[in-house]
């Protein structure tokens, strides 16, 4: 079915011009990582953490997932039922939290927010905060750790977004991406430019694309449904929990395919596109 879908859209022919010198074979797997398969470790504050992507060389990663150049870390963290973290203050770093499962609260600067699936929170630098699991199941969080830059002025309070209530801003990005912005530079991001969710309808494909420069950091994580990551001339199954890092070699196009006939797929997405001036 996938081959028929690609052939009907003329995708294979469209990619022929990219075939030379793109990343192929097993090296593609260095840019995909699933938190379910990584080892867990305790971190300060009471969270149990699993690495998804770590710092490394995105042009020549020495191990799977070691590709981040502009973001400090990307992890999946859990907090045990009825547990709380110790008070934490981020220095030289901010965190974007996206709730994948469970329920709880986040408290910072006298403000408390309810946590449940699809809640996103921007925790600014220099603000003390705590997390609490108020349920009987683990609280699961995707956490993006972005560095702050010299002269950057962080927010003075945490910023909370309920993805469940946000409007779609487009249903046509890259052919079939249905986009909900969570945070952008103007909201107080220090390094990243965009944090989104992207939904795709059944039997749709995103437009295969690459960039004309290497100064980019773009990550796609499957939240709902299993899709296909379309990378160069190859396909990889991408179940919930698996993240894909866009290969920044200006030669390897990528896209996503929802091959399901009766269900959507959804992704958590964050990116740095090109040099920009964060809010001062």
**3-state secondary structure string, 110-121?**
CEEEEECCCEEE
Which residues are paired to 223 by β-bridges? Answer: none
Tokens of 162: 């309920």
Phi, psi for 28 (deg, rounded to 5): -60, -35
Residues in the chain where the model's pLDDT stays below 50: 1-3, 5, 7-9, 12-19, 276-280
| Domains, the chain, ordered by start | 2-272 (2.60.120.10)
Distance CA 42, CA 52 (A): 15
Q: Are 142 and 220 a contacting pair, CB within 8 Å? A: no
Distance CA 271, CA 268 (A): 11
Please report the pLDDT score of residue 63 as a whole number. 95
Please report the pLDDT score of residue 279 as a whole number. 44
Count, in order, helices (H) and strands (E) of the chain.
2, 23
Please report the pLDDT score of residue 15 as a whole number. 47
Tokens of 75: 């992890």
Tens digit of each residue's pLDDT (9 = 90 or more) over 96-107: 999 999 999 999
Please report the pLDDT score of residue 203 as a whole number. 97
Please report the pLDDT score of residue 214 as a whole number. 65
Please report the pLDDT score of residue 250 as a whole number. 85
DSSP 209: B
Distance CA 242, CA 222 (A): 6
Could you tell me where the DSSP H helices lie in 96-204? none
Tens digit of each residue's pLDDT (9 = 90 or more) over 67-81: 999 999 999 999 999
Q: What residues contact residue 26 under an 8 Å CB cut-off, 6+ apart? A: none
């Amino acid at each position: 079915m996938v081959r028929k879908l690609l052939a009907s859209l003329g995708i294979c022919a469209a990619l022929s011009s990219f075939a030379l010198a793109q990343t192929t074979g097993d090296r593609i797997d260095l840019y995909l990582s699933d938190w379910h398969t990584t080892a867990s470790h305790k971190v300060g504050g009471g969270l149990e953490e699993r690495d998804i992507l770590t710092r490394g060389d995105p042009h020549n990663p020495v191990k799977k997932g070691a590709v981040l150049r502009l973001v400090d870390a990307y992890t999946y963290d859990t907090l045990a039922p009825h547990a709380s973290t110790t008070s934490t203050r981020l220095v030289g770093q901010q965190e974007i939290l996206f709730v994948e499962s469970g329920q709880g609260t986040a408290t910072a600067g006298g403000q408390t927010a309810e946590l449940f699936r699809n809640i996103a929170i921007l925790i600014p630098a220099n603000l003390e905060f705590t997390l609490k699991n108020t349920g009987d199941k683990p609280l699961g969080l995707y956490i993006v750790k972005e560095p702050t830059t010299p002269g950057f002025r962080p927010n003075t309070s945490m910023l909370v977004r309920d993805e469940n209530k946000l409007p779609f801003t487009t249903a046509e990005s890259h052919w079939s991406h249905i986009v909900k912005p969570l945070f952008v530079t103007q909201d107080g991001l220090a390094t990243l430019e965009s944090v989104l969710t992207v939904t795709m309808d059944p039997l749709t494909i995103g437009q295969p694309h690459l960039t004309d420069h290497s100064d980019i950091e773009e990550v796609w994580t499957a939240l709902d449904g299993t899709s296909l990551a379309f990378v160069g001339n190859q396909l990889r199954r991408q179940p919930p929990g698996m993240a894909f890092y866009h290969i920044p070699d200006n030669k390897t196009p990528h896209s996503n395919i929802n091959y399901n006939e009766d269900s959507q797929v959804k992704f958590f997405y964050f990116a740095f596109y090109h040099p920009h001036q964060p809010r001062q």
